[in-house]
A and B are shown apart, each in its own frame.
Chain A
């Protein structure tokens, strides 16, 4: 869990300095770390699915993609 702790610590610094200016940074550090991690995981996976789909589609004639009809 040291990786999670590092993410929270990094988000804490961001929260303290640039994003909120909130005087008690700890909760906002956790909040930012939580939201950013979900966006990174789901966004990264979404990007992988889109790129993989495009690569595979290039190897096949358009009629193989029935959803385009």
Chain B
């Protein structure tokens, strides 16, 4: 078996020489995340089997109940990521460290991806259950607003600014996610809604049992594992991006100084 070799510019010595690096070392992965990745793949395989094959059709919804095993975990991950993003934003305002800024950015970006998936799967399930893909219902509209807020957060982070200014702007927006999540979550009880109430997370006994219940909880566990894996990798991508930007600035300053000395 041969090992692929790539090269990186040797900035540590400032020589600009190409230094060989094993291909397997590249990227944001580590031994632990590789193990977690394999666990995620196994969990996804079981999730697919339980949701599409093992789970029986529902008495009311028939085969369309299988959409619950994708829609609910995706929503839950979107809420969880939004909450982590808001929490990290709050801690950043207190500690003002790069670590919390990167955690918040990674979490909110993930929240936006999973909220987009929520809107798509919700529309599809709406088509199957209600006969329409979209209505201006409290739950659907508040979820769309949550998605717009997340996109706004990501747009604000792209505005050129110092890390301090960028951190403050995005942290304030990140904190606004909390009341929005509460509104989305409680919208079905606060207003008349076409959307159904909670199926499992409520005070009275859950409406599903047996294999459906197990498949439902397994889908939540799988969603949490995927969120963890993606959070770690997205955080590391953000960290690498900051390092590259910093190195690029250092190199540009060094080049300008060298130009000045030769004149």
Q: How large is the interface on A (under 10, 10 to 19, 20 to 34, 35 or more residues)?
A: 35 or more
- By a CB distance below 8 angstroms, the chain A residues around B63 are 22, 27-28, 31
Q: Is the CB of B12 within 8 A of A65?
A: no
- By a CB distance below 8 angstroms, the chain A residues around B21 are 58, 62
In angstroms, Cα B11 to Cα A61, docked, is: 7
Say yes or no: is B240 at the interface (Cβ < 8 Å to chain A).
yes
Q: Is the CB of B128 within 8 A of A30?
A: yes
Name A58's contact: one of B26, B123, B128 (CB within 8 Å).
B26
Q: Is the CB of A26 within 8 A of B74?
A: no
CB contacts under 8 Å to A, within B21-42, are: 21, 25-30, 33
* A48-64 near B? 1/0 per residue, CB < 8 Å: 01101110111111111
**Size of the chain B interface, CB-CB below 8 angstroms:** 50
Q: Is the CB of B128 within 8 A of A57?
A: no
Q: A30-B125, A34-B71, A60-B247 in contact; A67/B27 too (CB < 8 A)?
A: no
How distant is A16 from chain B, measured CB to nearest CB, in Å? 13
CB-nearest residue of chain A relative to B30? A67
Say yes or no: is B93 at the interface (Cβ < 8 Å to chain A).
no
Say yes or no: is B66 at the interface (Cβ < 8 Å to chain A).
yes
Q: B6, B25, B33, B236: which has the most chain A beta carbons within 10 Å?
A: B236
How distant is B175 from chain A, measured CB to nearest CB, in Å? 24
Contacts between the two chains (Cβ within 8 Å), count: 129
Q: A27-B64, A62-B8 in contact; A42/B123 too (CB < 8 A)?
A: no
Say yes or no: is A4 at the interface (Cβ < 8 Å to chain B).
yes
- By a CB distance below 8 angstroms, the chain A residues around B30 are 67-68
Say yes or no: is A37 at the interface (Cβ < 8 Å to chain B).
yes
Say yes or no: is A17 at the interface (Cβ < 8 Å to chain B).
no
- By a CB distance below 8 angstroms, the chain A residues around B116 are 41
Q: Is the CB of B244 within 8 A of A68?
A: no
In angstroms, Cα B29 to Cα A50, docked, is: 8
* B52-86 near A? 1/0 per residue, CB < 8 Å: 10000000001110110011001000000000000
Q: A34-B70, A37-B117, A64-B240 in contact; A53/B124 too (CB < 8 A)?
A: no
By a beta-carbon cutoff of 8 Å, the part of chain A in contact with chain B is: 1, 4-5, 7-8, 22, 26-28, 30-31, 33-35, 37-38, 41-42, 45-46, 49-50, 52-54, 56-65, 67-68
Which 4 pairs across A and B sit closest by C-beta, in order of nearness?
A: A53-B28, A30-B128, A56-B240, A27-B63
- A/B interface sample: 29 pairs, CB < 8 A: A4-B124, A4-B133, A27-B62, A27-B63, A31-B63, A34-B70, A35-B48, A35-B51, A38-B74, A38-B121, A41-B116, A41-B117, A45-B230, A52-B237, A53-B27, A53-B29, A53-B233, A53-B240, A57-B27, A60-B8, A60-B243, A60-B247, A61-B10, A61-B12, A62-B8, A62-B25, A67-B30, A67-B236, A68-B25
By a beta-carbon cutoff of 8 Å, the part of chain B in contact with chain A is: 6, 8-12, 19, 21, 25-30, 33, 48, 51-52, 62-64, 66-67, 70-71, 74, 113-114, 116-117, 120-121, 123-125, 127-128, 133-134, 226, 230, 233-234, 236-237, 240-241, 243-244, 247
